[in-house]
A = this chain, B = another copy of it.
C-alpha cells in the first residue's frame, strides 16, 4: 500500500489523488464535527463551499436541514451551529441533514472529488478509518485540510497516527512526507505535546474553546467512518 500526504487543501491536484483512497482530515474542527454529527444519528452532511449555497439548500425545509460551519472560526450569521463538534448532540442532529460550510475542511473535501473513495477522518475515528483503508486495500492519500492554504500541525499529527496504525497492520510504501508525519507522531503519541505548537490550535485556545480542543484531540471514541460521495457524506 503506497501512502502519500497532501499538506493543504490548496495543494490538492487531480493527478495526485485520481483513483486513490483519500482521507480528508481537518481535526480543528470540520472533520471532527462531521464524525460527531454522523455518530450522533445525523442522516447526512452536505458540505458546500459558500454560505449562500448552504442557506439555499437549508431554506427548502428548515425542519429537516441544519446549518453549521464557521468563518474565521466563528459561527455564521443565521446558522444553527458553529464549528464546535460539542454542539452537534444526538437530541438535535438525529434524523436531520446538516449543511455545512467551513474555511478549510469542506473545501478540501470538495477538491478531492476525483478520488475513488473519500473518507472523513479525525482523531475521533482514526482506528476505524485505518481499518476501512485496510479493507479497501487501495493506495492512500491523506489530505490535510490545513489552515488558509497552509500546512497545519494538528492535521499532520493525526495523519501520523493513522499512518502508525496502517504501518502496524500491512506493508506500506511511504513518501518522505508520510515518513515525516509518522515520525512526528511516534515522537509525540500523546498528541498534545506537539499540537500545542500549531498556530490554529492556539487560535481556538484564544477563543476559549478548551473543551473543543480536548475533544478533537481524543483518540478513537467512535467506529463511524463517514464517506463523501455524490455531494453527500453518509456513514458506510
Binding site for B on A (CB under 8 A): 7, 11, 147, 150-153, 156, 175-177, 179-180, 183-184, 187, 194, 197-200
Pair B180/A184 contact, Cβ less than 8 Å: yes
Contacts A7-B7, A11-B11, A187-B187 given: A197-B177 contact, CB under 8 Å?
A: no
Which of A153, A176, A197 is packed against the most chain B CB atoms within 10 Å?
A176
B residues within 8 A CB of A147?
A: 176
The distance in angstroms between the C-alpha atoms of A198 and B177, with both chains bound, is 9
Pair B187/A175 contact, Cβ less than 8 Å: no
- Say which residue of B151, B176, B183, B198 sits within 8 Å of A150 (CB atoms): B176
Q: List 19 A-B contacts (CB under 8 A).
A: A7-B7, A7-B177, A150-B176, A150-B177, A151-B175, A151-B177, A151-B180, A152-B176, A153-B176, A156-B176, A156-B180, A175-B199, A176-B197, A176-B198, A176-B199, A179-B197, A180-B184, A184-B184, A187-B187
Nearest CB of chain B from residue A199's CB, rounded to whole Å: 6
Nearest CB of chain B from residue A17's CB, rounded to whole Å: 14
